[in-house]
Amino acid sequence: MTPQLDGMAPVDWSKVKASAFVYDIIYTPAETRFLREARQHGHATLNGEAMLAGQGAAAFQKWTGIQPDLALMKQKLREAVQS
C-alpha cells in the first residue's frame, strides 16, 4: 500500500491458471504491482476499492438506518485517494 509500492510476494505466473481472477484488497495505488503483473499476464483483476466502499456503506446503514448511495461512495473514495 502507498508508500510501499514495489512490495509483493513472489508469484510464479507460469503456475497460475490463465482463467484465474486476481484480487488485491489494497486500494491505493489503484493498481498495485501484483495487479499490474497479473493484468500483463492476461488475468482479470480487481482492487480493494469496492470492498472498502461496501464496508463503509454497511457501517453507515447499520448506524444510521439509511441506505447510502454505494456508487457515490465509490466515486468519493476514488477522488479522496487520488488527491
CB 49 within 8 A of CB 27: yes
Per-residue pLDDT at 14 exceeds 80: yes
Domain harbouring 24, CATH code: 3.40.50.720
pTM, two decimals, is 0.81
Q: Does residue 55 sit within a domain?
A: yes
58: Cα separation from own chain's centroid: 17
Tally the domains of the chain: 1
User: What's the rounded Cα separation, in Å, for the pair 78 and 80?
Assistant: 5
- The count of residues in the chain is 83
Q: Does residue 26 sit within a domain?
A: yes
CB 35 within 8 A of CB 45: yes
Q: Which domain does 24 fall in, by range? A: 20-82
Grid coordinates of 72: 457515490
15: number of Cβ within 10 Å: 7
pLDDT digits (tens, 9 = 90+) for 39-82: 999 999 999 999 999 999 999 999 999 999 999 999 999 899 88
Q: Does residue 6 sit within a domain?
A: no
